Amino acid sequence: MAFELLMVTSEAWPLAKTGGLGDAVGGLAKALRSGGAGVTILMPAWRGTQDQLAGMHRVTELPGLPGGPAELYAGYCPALGCRVLLLRNDALYDRDSLYVTPEGDEYDDNAVRFAALSMAAAYVAQGLPGVTVPAVVHAHDWHAALASVYMHQFGVQDIKTILTLHNVAFQGVYPMMPAEQLGLYPEYLTADGLEYWGKLNFLKAGLLYSDCITVVSHNYAREILTPRFGCGLESVLAARIDKMVAIPNGIDTMLWNAGRDTYLHGKTFTADRLENKVACKTALQKAYGLDADRGAFLLAMGSRLTEQKMVDVALQALPQALDAMPKLQVCILGQGERRAERELVQLAQRYPGRCGVYIGYSEARAHRLHAGADALLHGSRFEPFGLTPLYAMRYGTIPIASRVGGMVDTIVDPGLVAETNRLYRATGILFDGEAAEDMRSAIERAVTLRQRPLVWRTMQRNAMLAPMGWEQSAPLYSQLYQSLRPDVAPIEAVGPRLQPREVRRNLQRRNGRGRAASSLDAVVPAGTSVA
């Protein structure tokens, strides 16, 4: 029997994306497909999603879902090379944006919208005419977390479930509602299931019912066991530690590739030939209305404009830095909290020619931002993995990032007082703290480092060449799937196929960096094939 995987998600680039979740799920699906695996993505039929699929056809109706009857459509995504099942209920999913109203408020029926997605996954696992039954259901984030709960209710036992935590801060917390509104038996709405402090908590229930929990970086896996990063779920996570494994995300190195990026209009470059990066910088300065000054230090910010991303701190630190450093320029791409958007626009007005802001979401602009900037400012109060700094690094743009989450694993910063020979290993700058002063002095440090051309140039090269593709991580997922279902022929992925012992060693090395192994190092639950 060939391995069949069902990935349940709200986002998968290029079908739908609002942040790193979409990139991670799309990237993993593509990497697994490259090995010939039977991968199917199940996601809502968001507005326009079906237009990106080939061979769309209606499979069946699902009458008993929360929010009313829905239809299941199937198609093929050429960009990802995998099958896609779309859950169609236009009243629930055919809206301007995925999660929030134009005013930025969460849709008030989000609980029902994502309960329906999870229940649809359970129907697929149970068996539907015309749909292949998966060996493993891999749910991503709170949107899909209830899949394992519905599967439990349906009595589906042989199909294993994985829940990947892309961000523990988003849990799907809603006021308690009658169980029948979610299509659940009342016993699932107790403290042993969805109930948490009198409310519904989708993520918590997924943690309790999934066979395995994966976390998108080793450092974040450790952090979420603490109150600061566990966001109230640290004790639930601690209780499930024997089911947890950290598998870092990868990035799509074909897409984020300075040497082939079509968004750069021919001005491509490589780690050894950076001439065209200067042309990209000039183009970026022009696009953001900045002075055409090659010698300026061009600092970019590109992210959701939220408290998580420390936009409040940036709003204080950037004017201080602009005042202190006359050669500093800033360009910002982002959207998010309305107040932050307004204040950033005002900041640009205060520093004409030195600060430019684009409020909005644009994939093309993100590529050009990373290509043209000297450095990327990426403050974060928490950062499960941190794709954006890696994208910047691929273009020789040095990340200046908070020392949290996955960025601790992916950015090499030998420290403030490192000797020169150690600096030659660096790929970026990490800073502690959440005060404007912390961020401003990190920017100053970058500006000072760039005055040492050999060090800066080496950092750029290191950053561009750092291994970060899915070929590191997709094989670890394949091994995990296999270990959960040793009765099914293995799923292949890009990258080398590791032997079980190598997987364990690999995970121990990454998890612990030399510390004694804990249960976090256990790649898979007991009774599986990884020795």
Residues 6+ apart with CB under 8 A from 207: 145, 163, 213, 233, 236, 237, 240
Neighbours of 287 (CB within 10 A): 16
Which residues fall within 8 angstroms of residue 96, CB to CB, at 6 or more apart? 47, 102
Nearer to ligand ADP, 260 or 425 (CB): 260
Least distance (Å) from ligand ADP to the CB of residue 512? 24
Minimum Å gap between C-beta 66 and ligand ADP is: 27
Structure tokens at 32: 């697994």
Could you say which residues in the range 314-333 bind ligand ADP, by CB under 6 A?
333
Span of 17-25, 180-188, 268-276, 313-321 interacting with ligand ADP by CB under 6 A = 17-25
H or E stretch covering 196: strand 195-196
**Contact with ligand ADP (CB under 6 A): which of 27, 372, 386, 428?**
386
Closest distance to ligand ADP from the beta carbon of 415 (Å):
24
CB of 364 to ligand ADP, least distance (A): 8
Peptide bond into 14 cis (omega under 30): yes
Does 171 sit near ligand ADP (CB under 6 A)? no
Element (H, E) at 28: helix 20-34
For position 475 contacting ligand ADP by CB under 6 A, the verdict is: no
Q: Could you give the string, one character per residue 289-308, with x where binding to ligand ADP holds by CB under 6 A and - elsewhere?
A: -------------xxx----
Which single residue brings its beta carbon nearest to ligand ADP?
Answer: 20
Distance CA(450)–CA(25), nearest Å, equals 35
Q: How far is the CB of 167 from ligand ADP (least distance, A)?
A: 6
Of 237 and 390, nearer to ligand ADP (C-beta) is 390
When asked if residue 335 is in the footprint of ligand ADP (CB under 6 A), the reply is yes
Binding footprint of ligand ADP, residue count (CB under 6 A): 18
369-to-73, 264, 277, 285, 375 alpha-carbon distances in Å: 37, 10, 11, 10, 10
Of 334 and 490, which CB lies nearer to ligand ADP in the complex structure? 334
Nearer to ligand ADP, 391 or 431 (CB): 391
Give the residue with the Cβ less far from ligand ADP, 373 or 387. 387
CA 418/CA 473 separation, integer angstroms: 31
Candidate residues 99, 263, 351, 361; the one interacting with ligand ADP per rule CB under 6 A: 361
Give the residue ranges of DSSP H helices in 170-252: 202-209, 218-223, 227-230, 234-239
Per CB under 6 A, does 363 bind ligand ADP? yes
Q: What share of the chain is helix, strand, coil (3-state, %, to 5)?
A: 40, 20, 40
Binding flag, residue 366, ligand ADP (CB under 6 A): yes
97 contributes a contact to ligand ADP by CB under 6 A: no
Q: Does 19 bind ligand ADP (CB under 6 A)?
A: yes
In terms of Cα–Cα distance, which of 104, 84, 108, 113 is closest to 18? 104
Q: How far is the CB of 386 from ligand ADP (least distance, A)?
A: 5
Given a contact cutoff of 8 angstroms between Cβ atoms, the answer to whether 509 and 501 are in contact is no
Distance CA 330, CA 48 (A): 34
Cβ–Cβ under 8 Å, residues 429 and 400: yes
Q: Which one, 120 or 305, has the nearer CB to ligand ADP? A: 305
Q: Which of 269, 382, 385, 470 binds ligand ADP (CB under 6 A)?
A: 385
Q: Does 134 bind ligand ADP (CB under 6 A)?
A: no
Cα–Cα distances in Å, from 187 out to 79, 145, 151, 182, 192? 42, 17, 14, 12, 8
Q: Judged by CB under 6 A, which of 3, 7, 8, 23 binds ligand ADP?
A: 23
How is the beta sheet containing 355-359 ordered, strand by strand?
Answer: 355-359, 328-336, 297-305, 375-378, 398-402, 429-431
Write the binding mask 447 to 466 for ligand ADP: x where contact by CB under 6 A, - elsewhere.
--------------------
Q: Smallest gap, in angstroms, from Cβ of residue 497 to ligand ADP?
A: 28
Shortest distance, position 23 Cβ to ligand ADP, whole Å: 5
Whole-angstrom CA distances from 224 to 144, 219, 228, 242, 433 are 20, 9, 8, 14, 18
Looking at the Cβ atoms of 152 and 365, the one nearer to ligand ADP is 365
Min dist CB 334 to ligand ADP, Å, is: 5
CB of 152 to ligand ADP, least distance (A): 29
User: What's the closest the beta carbon of residue 388 comes to ligand ADP, in angstroms?
Assistant: 3
Among 161, 388, 479, 528, binds ligand ADP (CB under 6 A): 388
Sign of CA dihedral 485, 487, 488, 494: positive
- Under the binding rule (CB under 6 A), the answer on residue 20 touching ligand ADP is yes
Find the part of the chain contacting ligand ADP (CB under 6 A) among 77-85, 223-231, 379-387, 509-517: 379-387
> What are the φ and ψ backbone dihedral angles of 274, each rounded to 5 degrees?
-100, 5
Q: How many C-beta atoms surround the C-beta of residue 522 within 10 A? A: 21
Among 387, 436, 443, 468, binds ligand ADP (CB under 6 A): 387
Report the residue number, 357 or 480, with the smaller CB distance to ligand ADP: 357
* SS3 call for 522: coil
Beta bridge partner(s), residue 298: 329
Instruction: Extract the tokens encoding 227.
Output: 């109150």
- Point out which residues bind ligand ADP (CB under 6 A): 19-20, 23, 302-304, 333-335, 361-363, 366, 385-388, 391
